[in-house]
Structure formats: C-alpha cells, structure tokens
Amino acid sequence: MTVTLLVDSLVRSVQVGSLYALMAIGLTLTMNVVRLPNFAHAEYITIGAYTALIVSLGVSSNPLLILGAAFLVTALVALGSHHAVFRPLEKHRTSTYTMLLASFAVGLILRYIVFLLADYFELFDRRIQIPLEVWYRSSVVILTNIFFWVVPTSIGLVIAFSLLLNRTPLGREMRALANNFDLARIIGIRVGRVVNLTWLLVGGLAGVAGALWGLYTSVNPLIGWFAILSVFAAAILGGLSSFPGTILGAYLVGLSENTLMQILNVTIGLDFSFKPAIPFIIIILVLLFRPQGFTEFLRSNRGLRR
Amino acid sequence: MNIDLFATLIALLTFFGIAALMAISLNLEYGVAGIPNFGQALFVSIGAYTTGVTYTRLLPLLAGQEAINPCGATLAPALQLRSEIMRTMPAVGLGNFVLTLLIAAVIGGVVGYAVSYIILRLKQEWYLALVLLVGGETVRIFVRGYQPIVCANNGISGIAGPFAWVGNTQTASILFALLVLAFAGAAYWYSEKLARSPYGRLLKAVRENEQVARSLGKNVARIRAQVMLIGSAIAAISGVLFALNIGFVSTNDYVVTLTLDVWVMVVLGGLGNNRGALLGALLITLMDRATAITAIQLNRLGTDIEFNYFRYILFGVILLLMLRYRPRGLLPETRFTTPAHQYLARSQETGDARSP
Amino acid sequence: MRNRLLVLLCVVGILLVSGAAIAQDDVETYVLGVAQPFTGPLGSFGTDFTKGIELAVEEMNAQLEQAGLNIRFEAVSIDTEGTPDGAARAVQTIVQTTGAQVIVGPLTTSEVLGAKQFADENNVVIVAPASSGAAGAIPDDNIFRVMYPPDNFAAKAFAQIATARGYQNVAILHMDDPFGNGLAEQFQEDFQALGGGSVTVVRYAPDPADVTSEVTRLSADASQLSGSGTTAVFCICFLADAQKVLQIAQVDPVLSSLDWMGIENLANPQLLEDQNYSAFLQNANFVSVSFTDEQTPVGREFVEAFTAKYGSVPGPFTNYAFDAANIAMLSMLVAGNDGAAVKAILPFVSNHYIGTSVQGYLDEYGDQAIAYYGIYRVADNGSEFELIGTYNGSADKLTLEE
C-alpha cells in the first residue's frame, strides 16, 4: 500500500475519530449521570448541524458564531427533551427498556420535525457556507481549514470537558451522581441543578459535533441517525463509563472505519460497501469478549466509576 | 373516496396476523421469560431469506425440473419457471410452502438458541439487546453484499403464496388471510398453554427473580435458551409469511425499524400478556393504515406541507403517551393461579380446611 | 380514554368522507395514484416528482375542459417510505381507498418489485418513471417502466464520450446498488469494446456518512492508472454523495488534475452554487449525460411551465414523472379507468407518445427501449450547465461539439 494512501487514511481517521469522540462523550455522560441509553442523541447531532446550516446561510459565516449557535440551540433542545419526557418517566421508576423506547420515540419526533422543516424550506443536502482553503500541503498529505477546525475544536472541547469533570465542583457533583445517585442526594447535592446542567452540556457537545460533522460532510435530516451506531460503538469501547476509554474507543472506531478498511480492501479485497458493518462488529466483539471495554486498562481517576 | 371495505379488511387481517405472530414471539421472550430480544429483524429476515432460497432453488427441484439461477441474466426465465409451477402445480407449491416453514423454523430456532446460549451467560442483560440489534444489521449488510441467498441488493421477486393456483384473486387473498390467522391463532394458543403451564410459571419465576430461581436449582440459562428457540422459530415463520405477502424478498425490509415496531406493539398491548400482544399488533396495523389514509386526504388539500412526516411524529407521540400513562400496556398481565392457590383461597373463605 | 378515542375516530371519519364530498356532479373524476417515497433519504425525489405529475394533471384537465369533455383527473399521492414493504402497502392502500387503477411510481426498482405482486394480482397498472434496475425487466406483467432509459444507453453514451475525448483508462466510483452496479458494469464492457484500456472500480455503501476512504482509494487507483495512459474519473453517485466526494477531491492532487465524468444527478445547478465545486468541475472538463429540453418542444414548455408554477427549475428526472403521468392519463382516456384495459393499451399509447425527452418506445418487458440524451458541460460563467452535444440511443450515435 502506498505511503500516501496510508497517511491520508490516518489523517481521515484522526478527523473522524475526533468527531466521534465529541459525540460519544455526551452519550457516555447521559448513560452515567442520568442512566439512559439515549437514542435521541442522534437527533441532537442533526439539530446541531441544521442550526449551523441555517446560521451560515442566513446570518453569518463566522465559524465561532456558527458553532456557538449550534451549542446553544441543541443544549436547549436536550434540556427540553429531559423535562418534557425523561424526567416524568423517571419519576415512575420505569425499566431501562422503556426508557430506551422512550428515547427512540423522542428521536423519532425530533427527526421528523427536522424533516418537515427541511422539506418546507428546501434544505436537503445543503452545505454549510464556510469556504474551503488549503492550509498545509506536503507531498504526502494535504490539510484543509476544515481539518484545522474539526480536530482542534473537538479535542479542545474534550479536554475542556475533562477538566470540568475533574477540577470543578460541578464535575465533582456529576461524578458523585454517577457513582451513587441516592447517596449523592442525601449528602446534599442539588440533584436537579446538576442534572439540568448535564443535559445542557450533553446537548451542547452533540450540537457542536453535529455542526462540525455537517461541515465535514453535508447536512440532511438523517445525518445523526447514520452516525449514531459508530458513536455507540465508541461509547461501548469505553465501557460506557470511562471517558478516556470512550475517547480511545472513538479513535479506534475511526481508525477501523478508515485505515483498517483501507488495508482490508487492499489486501483481501474487502469491498467498501461493508464499511457500515465495522462498528457493528466492534460492538459485538467487545460485548462478547470484553464488555468492560477500556475501563480497566486506563487506571486514571478521570473516569466516572472507580 | 372510494373505499373497498372488504379488500381493506382482508388486507388488514393479513397484516394483523403477521404482526401478531411477531408480537407473540416477542411477548414470549420478553414478557414471559424476561429476555430483551432486540433482534426481531434478524429472525424475521431468516424466515424471509429462507423463502427466497427455497422458492428459487427447491421449488423447481420438487417439480422435477432444474433450478435456474434467479440472479443476473437468467432472471426472467427463472421467474417464469417458478410462477408457472406455483400456478399449475398446487401440490408442489403447497409442499414447498410447508418445507419452507419447517426449514425457516428450524434455522430460526437454532440461531436463536445458539445466540442466547452464548450471550445469556454474560453479566449484563441488555448486552443481548444491543448485540442482537446490531447483529441483525450486520447480517443484513452481508446478505446485501453477496450474490447467493437473495441476489445481493437486487432481491428476488415472484415469491407467490401457496394459493397462487386459485383462479380468483380475491379468493386467494381470503385464503391466505385465513391461513395467516390460523398460524397466529396456533401461536397464541401455544403461548397461552405455555404461560399457564408449570413451565410457564417457572419462566415467570425466573423473570421475577433470577437469583431465587437459580438457588432452587433451575438452570436459568438453559431455560431461557429454550424460550429463545421457540420464540425465534415463531418469528422466522412470520418472516416467511411476510415475504409471501409482499411477493418480493429484499434486504431493505428487515431493518432496525421492524424490531422497534414489534417492541411498540408488545409495550402498547401489555407485557407478559398474549392478548395484549394481539391488541398491540391490531392497534399498530390499524394505526398504520388509518394514518396513511389521513395523510392522503390531508395532502389532497394542496398545501406545501408534507403530511406524511406527521405519521411518524404521531407515532412517536402516541408511544410516549403510552409509556408515560400506561407503562404496563393497555391490558394488565393476568395472574395465573394454581389449584393450590384456589384451594387456599376457598378454604380461607369458608374457614374450613377440608372442603374442596 | 374512550371518549378521546371516539373523538379521534370521528375526526378520521370526517376526513375520509370529505374526500367524497368534493366530487362534482356531471364530471367523472379518474384518480391517478402517485406512490413515491416522501420520507426517507429519497424524499426530495418524491416531492419533486409529485410536482411534475400535478403539473401534467393540471394541463390535462385544462385541455379536457377546453374540449368540452366531462372527464377530469385527480392525482392522489401516498408515501412508500422507500422500502419494498412500504411500497406494497402504499399501492394497496391507495387502490383500496380511492379506487385508483393506475399508479405513477414508485421510484426505485426494489419498491417497484415490492408492489408488483399486488398490482399483478389486482389488475392495477404501475407506470414507473425512474426505475431501471435489471431485476425489473419482466415481460407480461402490470409494470411499465417508461421514459427513463435503461442504463445500457447511458453506459454507451459515456463510453463513446470517453473514447471521443481520448481517455485511455477510467477510474469509477459508484454506489453499491442495482443502478450503480449495473451502469458501472455496462460502461466497463462498452468502453473496453470500443478499445478502452483499464477500468478500476470503487464501490461505496448507499447513504454513506463519510466517503473519505473510498475517495482516497479512488485517488490511488487513478494515480496508478495515470501511469499507463490518460485517465478520467467517472462518478456514479447521488448528489449528496457527490458533494462529499468533491469536498475531498478538490484538494486531492491526483483527482483535481484529471478529467471527470458524472451521471445525470450531478448535472444539477445546486452543485455549482459552491464556488469551489464550480471551479473544480470546470477545471475537470466535467461532462454529464442528461435529459435535454432541446430535443422536443414539449421539453422546453415543460421546464417553463414548471418554473412558472413552482418558482424553481425541475429537479433531475422530474420530466420523466411528467411524461409518465401523461402516458398514464392518455391510456386512461382511451381505455377508461380499468386496469386490465389500460394494461392492454398502454404500450400502444406509449409508443406513440413523444414527451419532454424522447419517444416512449417500450420493449418486450414493458420498459423504455430508446434514449436520447444531452451532453452537458459546465458553462463558462460557472453557474449553470451548457449543452455541448447529444446522444441518440436508437442510432447509437454521439455528436459532440468540442
């Protein structure tokens, strides 16, 4: 395999992996603090992408403004979904499968509202209007401004989130909630406030991820739904509890979808049309043989569970 | 509006019967035995793909002819061959149908058993859920990519039901509806018997408290694997009927949405309750047709709004309302009592320990 | 709970009955069923096709009224959800609810095949305007795949263009579905039959989230082929996928230095709205084979009428839906609203129908058998496509003004 092919696929893996990481930590956070496998996370991503699109088409081309808008709008949608649906259900002590179905229903509603609006305003497969420029060129690799927007922003947000979780009082409260919900309430943590802020954070991160993902590809109402299984794979690799594990998992998924796929294609002629199966196979293998994923390898206190 | 009520009724009964089979299968697995099977799409597709294979390779053999490759250049002659056989040789068609059902049930059951045996030994139960959900999609991607089975992404058409030899279409559709309902009835009867039997009570005990059941010496994993076998076999049979009802086998129909639809039926109707499963299947079938008709009418109004999206939104809203206000479903779970319970109840009433 | 259910049933009942009340007295209304995917990834096609069909119905009704005839048509649409099962239910519902005997649609071959059994058994005629997969080439059934020419014509056209332009090798990127597979295979055959050299193929799964690996591979293939001769890239992709492809290709040194060919979906002005893409395609001497409104006067009239009514140009293949609706309606005028009679007369009507693109000549499978394409290139102003040639399928003749 040529060097260019390898280097290029590694660049892509990093790009995609960073985006998956940003999408996956929100999912892991939801699973831990709120105990909910949230299928509507896919729609948060889509809503972030559409917010970015609308802002870029109608208001401004400033990337900071676009990302900021995506963060805000999606954060509010996520908080809204919590108050409208998940909190009333939780009060009744419903089972995990009921919550899963509920999250699927919320996702359905959000997705088709987006479809309605996209259909009415003719916003299918439009591009976010940030002009493309090449910022680095060498003989083996070419990096565009999109790369420099996607990767540092994703990594930066992930690091910022890590810091928030480990260094701030709010982060401590989140971790306490994740460890033992009832105990946390007893020792006086204002559970409602923490949960609300968690949802805002989850939505915001997913929104920015969606905006960047839309920048990286193009925007349509199914953009989140098509990406969500890879995101679940990343979260599962992180054992659904460890953040470093999730981030590592995200890059692993990105790598297997790009570099591994490329290698398999060149060596054994595996067709690219099987690429969607890769995150699935990862999920199955991890759950069968090592369900805890990467949680025990990384012995840091950055996870939510000790 | 020019509604053909009779035809609509027959069509709805057929869809209801197929949905009922799927719902009963899931109710058996989750409602009675507590196994969260998120892999309906996989088991239904096993039945459908089996149908695709038998109707193209086995059917000609049964009729004493050579099987023609149904993919690629020989597509039309292969199609003509099987259409002709189904139309003119009812015994062969019926025989093939029965064989298809048996083979599908066996394959579905074996896969269900194998899958459950491996996974039910794991700690976290919802692993099974996710692995099956994802496994179904993986199988679909592979079947879509390879030529054998259903001609990759082309699919196989001309999969006619066992009544194709009947001259009158309406009669044939009525017969098929009755056949489907008969299967649904049989599955219902069987599930009810199972639930009421000592075996069924054992399953419920296992569902309620696994540790206690295990401490009583019952091999929990093996019992659940048996239930998966039965449930998966029923699901595979429903897949055969599903494919015959459309007449075309393609990987596009066996997606995650199918699994979620069946879950909605069971949750809606009532968990652990066969009548609930039937009710859920009926409601979903009716809702699908009713919302389609409503969307047709609304779209006729000529606005720019695409009302077909509202069908999904409505579906989501109804599901949420159900989960919020009736999390146990519309029909509560029936409580089965044993003769011992009844004796105890009566003797407490009369205060006499002796009389029956 | 029960009261609410009753109210809901009443509302539904009112809606159902209201349709009947709209009908007039002395005019007979034929319902033309429209079964298209309105939801799902192909939803934009459904919406666009329906607009084209409704335009056809409007024009037909105007003509009938002017002629003093007492038949009118009404297009009633239903969503197929884009799956074979959905298509089967959709066709079933619309036939059983409105009495429609003739359906325009569905869109894809797998949907058409899903609806086939019901249509064949119930004397319902299916007039599909955009299905070309080989799996649907079945004789003596109720399915007529009109207007959209089978892919072998496009393949021949592209093969001849490639030869005329002196391409020695071609690197293909196509989606893995019956259309993509068929066209790529056919092109390779035709190209090599005309003396072409090597052809490499990269497939991608439908509805991709991300195509970077595939495009990287395409680039490597193209680079390798370039070593042994002039190479061009052939993109058999849907518009959304093409946008993702171009985003990567425009900075790829190999892909941005080669010529590009693309299918009709890419000859879309929406693609040129992005300056970078426009520049890229111009630089790549991008050429596409597409419906041309220059062939028949009806074609130009259609585009003008559509733009006037809806405020935007018709999307790709919408003219085929327009033609299909006309063929269906003309057959119904001749034979009445009776499926069996329409089935019998439709080939004759189609063979004598010249619509927006070409004569509707059907083969023994009931599928469109001839083609006429326009060859398009990006115009110098970079914001639209211009016609630079034609391909006549009947004569297998390419005329290119370059």
Average pLDDT, integer, range A12-32: 89
CATH architecture of A3-289: Orthogonal Bundle (1.10)
Class in CATH terms, C24-148+317-370: alpha beta
Do β-strands C385-392 and C125-128 pair in parallel, antiparallel, or remain unpaired?
unpaired
**Does C253 sit within 8 Å of A142, measured CB to CB?**
yes
Total residue count of chain A as it appears in this document = 306
Asked if the C-beta of A112 comes within 8 angstroms of chain B's C-beta atoms, the answer is: yes
- For B325-342, the DSSP string reads H-TT-SSPPPPP--HHHH
Average pLDDT, integer, range C155-161: 94
Measure CB to CB from residue A277 to each of B123, B138, B267 and give the nearest one. B138
**Does C251 sit within 8 Å of A12, measured CB to CB?**
no
What's the pLDDT at C177? 86
Q: What share of chain C is helix, strand, coil (3-state, %, to 5)?
A: 50, 20, 30
Which secondary-structure segment (H or E) carries C297?
helix C297-310
Q: Which subunits have 3 or more CB–CB pairs within 8 Å of chain B?
A: A, C
Q: Is the pLDDT of residue A131 over 60?
A: yes
Which secondary-structure segment (H or E) carries C203?
strand C199-204
Average pLDDT, integer, range A245-267: 88
- Which amino acid appears at position B229 of this protein? L
Q: Is the sign of the CA dihedral B93, B98, B99, B100 positive or negative?
A: positive
Q: Which residue of B has its CA nearest to C134?
A: B72
What's the pLDDT at B67? 85
Q: Is the pLDDT of residue C9 over 80?
A: no
Average pLDDT, integer, range B35-62: 91
Is B343 or C340 the better-scoring residue by pLDDT?
C340
- Side-chain-side CA neighbours of residue C387 (13 Å): 12
Distance in angstroms (rounded) separating the CA atoms of residues C317 and C129: 8
**Does C275 sit within 8 Å of A217, measured CB to CB?**
no
Give CA torsion, residues A255, A257, A258, A261, to 10 deg: 110
CATH superfamily of C151-292+373-400: Response regulator (3.40.50.2300)
Give A306's pLDDT tier (boundaries 50, 70, 90). Answer: very low
Chain C contact residues (CB < 8 Å to A): 39, 41, 43-44, 47, 176, 202-205, 207-210, 212-214, 216-217, 219-220, 223, 239-240, 243-244, 247, 250-253, 270, 274-276
What's the pLDDT at C112? 94
Measure CB to CB from residue C244 to each of A134, A217, A275 and give the nearest one. A217
**Does C89 sit within 8 Å of B288, measured CB to CB?**
yes
pLDDT in tens, B248-292: 999 999 988 899 899 889 888 887 788 999 999 999 999 999 989
- Which amino acid appears at position C54 of this protein? E
- For A13-58, the DSSP string reads HHHHHHHHHHHHHHHHHIIIII----TTHHHHHHHHHHHHHHHHHH
**Does A98 sit within 8 Å of B327, measured CB to CB?**
yes
**Cα-flanking dihedrals φ and ψ of residue C293, to 5°?**
-90, 15
Q: From A301, A299, A15, A44, select the one nearest A151 (Cα to Cα).
A: A15
Distance in angstroms (rounded) separating the CA atoms of residues B224 and B207: 10
Q: Is the sign of the CA dihedral B254, B260, B266, B268 positive or negative?
A: negative
- Which amino acid appears at position B327 of this protein? P
SS3 B291: helix
Asked if the C-beta of C73 comes within 8 angstroms of chain B's C-beta atoms, the answer is: no
Residue environment code for A260-269, b if the CB has 16+ CB neighbours within 10 A, otherwise e = bbbbbbeeee
Do C24-148+317-370 and C151-292+373-400 have matching folds?
yes
Contact C97, B293 (CB under 8 A): yes
Q: Is the pLDDT of residue B111 over 60?
A: yes
**Does A280 sit within 8 Å of B124, measured CB to CB?**
no
Asked if the C-beta of A106 comes within 8 angstroms of chain B's C-beta atoms, the answer is: yes
What's the pLDDT at B122? 62
For residue B129, the distance in angstroms to the closest alpha carbon of chain C comes to 24
- Which amino acid appears at position B5 of this protein? L
- Beta-carbon contacts of residue C379 (< 8 Å; ≥ 6 apart): C385, C386
Lowest mean pLDDT among A160-174, C57-71, C104-118: A160-174
The encoded tokens of residue C33 equal: 């069923």
What part of B 146-185 touches A (C-beta under 8 Å)?
A: none
Distance in angstroms (rounded) separating the CA atoms of residues A104 and A85: 11
What's the pLDDT at B120? 63
Q: Which residue of B has its CA nearest to A87?
A: B324
What's the pLDDT at C95? 95
Contact C135, B157 (CB under 8 A): yes
What's the pLDDT at B132? 84
Domain map (residue ranges) of chain C? 24-148+317-370, 151-292+373-400
Give CA torsion, residues A250, A256, A258, A262, to 10 deg: 170
**Cα-flanking dihedrals φ and ψ of residue C322, to 5°?**
-60, -50
Give C176's contacts in chain B (Cβ within 8 Å): 145, 153
What's the pLDDT at A301? 45
With a pLDDT cut of 90, the percent of chain C lying above it is 56
For residue C275, the distance in angstroms to the closest alpha carbon of chain B comes to 31
CA angle (A233 as vertex; A231, A237 as ends), nearest 5: 120
What's the pLDDT at C93? 95
Contact B279, B330 (CB under 8 A): yes
pLDDT in tens, C258-274: 999 999 888 888 888 88
Lowest mean pLDDT among A96-110, A173-187, A222-236: A173-187
C1: which DSSP letter? -
Distance in angstroms (rounded) separating the CA atoms of residues A266 and A203: 39
pLDDT in tens, C191-207: 999 998 999 999 998 88
Q: Which subunits have 3 or more CB–CB pairs within 8 Å of chain A?
A: B, C
Contact C87, C106 (CB under 8 A): yes
What's the pLDDT at C1? 57
Q: Is the pLDDT of residue B356 over 70?
A: no
Contact A213, A49 (CB under 8 A): yes
Asked if the C-beta of C189 comes within 8 angstroms of chain B's C-beta atoms, the answer is: no
Distance in angstroms (rounded) separating the CA atoms of residues C78 and C37: 8
Contact A16, C210 (CB under 8 A): yes
Give CA torsion, residues B113, B117, B123, B124, to 10 deg: -20
Distance in angstroms (rounded) separating the CA atoms of residues B304 and A119: 9
Distance in angstroms (rounded) separating the CA atoms of residues B143 and A266: 22
pLDDT in tens, B157-208: 988 888 888 888 899 999 999 999 999 999 999 988 888 887 777 777 767 6
The encoded tokens of residue C402 equal: 């370059």
What part of B 160-189 touches C (C-beta under 8 Å)?
A: 160, 169, 172-173
Contact C212, A12 (CB under 8 A): yes
Average pLDDT, integer, range C214-229: 90
The whole-model pTM stands at 0.89
SS3 B228: helix
Measure CB to CB from residue C135 to each of B155, B242, B247 and give the nearest one. B155
Q: What is the number of other CB atoms lying within 10 angstroms of the CB of residue B72?
A: 12
Distance in angstroms (rounded) separating the CA atoms of residues B220 and B120: 9
The encoded tokens of residue C377 equal: 């290139």
- Beta-carbon contacts of residue A91 (< 8 Å; ≥ 6 apart): none
The encoded tokens of residue A288 equal: 């069968």
pLDDT in tens, C12-24: 666 555 544 454 5
pLDDT in tens, C28-69: 999 999 999 988 788 888 989 999 999 999 999 999 999 999
Give C85's pLDDT tier (boundaries 50, 70, 90). Answer: very high
Is B337 or B132 the better-scoring residue by pLDDT?
B132
Measure CB to CB from residue B11 to each of C76, C92, C139 and give the nearest one. C92
Which secondary-structure segment (H or E) carries A12?
helix A3-29
- Side-chain-side CA neighbours of residue C291 (13 Å): 28
- Which amino acid appears at position C14 of this protein? I
Distance in angstroms (rounded) separating the CA atoms of residues B278 and B192: 12
Q: What is the number of other CB atoms lying within 10 angstroms of the CB of residue A272?
A: 21
Q: Suggest the residue from C2, C113, C151 to mutate for an interface test with chain B (most B CBs closer than 10 A).
A: C113
For residue B252, the distance in angstroms to the closest alpha carbon of chain A comes to 15
Distance in angstroms (rounded) separating the CA atoms of residues B115 and B109: 10
Residue with tokens 């090597």: C198
Give B319's contacts in chain A (Cβ within 8 Å): 101-102, 104-105, 108
Give CA torsion, residues C358, C362, C368, C369, to 10 deg: -80
Q: Is the pLDDT of residue B237 over 90?
A: yes
Q: From B114, B96, B109, select the one nearest B237 (Cα to Cα).
A: B109
Distance in angstroms (rounded) separating the CA atoms of residues C221 and B55: 41
What's the pLDDT at C346? 95
Asked if the C-beta of A270 comes within 8 angstroms of chain B's C-beta atoms, the answer is: no
